[in-house]
A and B are shown apart, each in its own frame.
Chain A
Amino acid sequence: MSIYNKLGRNDLERKQAVAGYLFILPNLIGFMIFVFLPLLASLFLSFFNWDLINTPVFVGFDNFIKMFKEPLFRKTLINTVYYTLGVVPLTVVFGMILAVLVNSVKKGFIYKFSFFMPYLIPMVGAALIWQSIYMPNFGILTYLLDLIGITSPQWLSDPDWAMPAIIIMSVWKNIGFTFIVLLAGLQGIPNRYYEAAEIDGANSIQQFFRITVPLLTPTIFFTVVISMIDSFKVFDQAFILTKGGPADATKTLVYYIYTQGFEYFRMGYASAVGWFLLIVIFALTIIQFIYQRKWVSYDV
Chain B
Amino acid sequence: MFKLKNLIKHLVLILFLVVMLGPFLWLISTAFKQFGDVFAYPPKIIPNNLTWDNFARVFNSFSLVRYFTNSVIVTLLRTLGMLITSSMAAYAFARLEFPGREKIFIIYLATLMIPFQVVMIPLFIIMRSFGWVDTYQALILPGAFNALGVFLLRQFFLTLPKSLEESAFIDGASYFTIFTRIILPLAKPGLATLSVLSFLWSWNDFLWPLIIIDSDHMNTITLAISKFQGYYFTEWNLLMAATLVALIPTIFIYIVAQNYFVEGIATSGAKY
Chain A residues proximal to chain B, CB less than 8 Å? 6-8, 13, 16-21, 23-24, 26-28, 30-31, 33-39, 41-42, 45, 52, 98, 101-102, 104-105, 108, 110-126, 128-133, 135, 137-140, 143, 172, 175, 177, 180-181, 183-184, 222-223, 226, 229-230, 232-233, 235-236, 239-240, 254, 257-258, 261-262, 267, 270-271, 274-275, 277-278, 281-282, 285
Contacts and interface: CB of A to CB of B under 8 A. Distances in A.
A271 B267 contact: no
A27 B250 contact: no
A120 B250 contact: yes
Closest 5 CB pairs of A and B: A20-B98, A30-B145, A41-B122, A20-B96, A23-B92
Contacts of A239: 206, 210, 226
A131 B23 CA distance: 11
25 contacts: A13-B97, A19-B176, A23-B96, A23-B179, A24-B88, A35-B119, A38-B126, A98-B13, A102-B13, A122-B246, A123-B206, A124-B226, A125-B247, A126-B23, A129-B243, A132-B26, A177-B271, A184-B267, A222-B269, A223-B269, A233-B115, A262-B211, A277-B118, A278-B114, A285-B113
Contacts of A183: 266
Interface of B: 6, 9-10, 12-13, 16-17, 19-21, 23-24, 26-27, 30, 38-43, 81, 84-86, 88-89, 91-93, 96-99, 101, 104, 107-108, 111, 113-115, 117-126, 128, 141-142, 144-147, 150, 175-176, 179, 200, 203-204, 206-207, 210-211, 222-223, 225-226, 229, 234, 236, 239-240, 243, 246-247, 250-251, 254, 258, 261-262, 265-267, 269, 271
Nearest to B236: A132
Contact of A261 (B39, B121, B150): B121
Contact of B229 (A24, A117, A128): A128
A16 B99 CA distance: 10
Nearest to A169: B23
Contacts of A131: 229
A172 to B, nearest CB: 7
A39 B118 contact: yes
Contacts of A122: 203-204, 206, 222, 246-247, 250
Contact of B118 (A113, A222, A275): A275
A223 to B, nearest CB: 8
**Majority SS at the chain A contact face:** helix
Contact of A28 (B104, B128, B200, B234): B104
A30 B23 contact: no
B265 A181 contact: yes
B97 A111 contact: no
B210 to A, nearest CB: 8
Contacts of A285: 113
Contact of A113 (B96, B179, B239, B258): B258
Contacts of B107: 36
B92 A101 contact: no
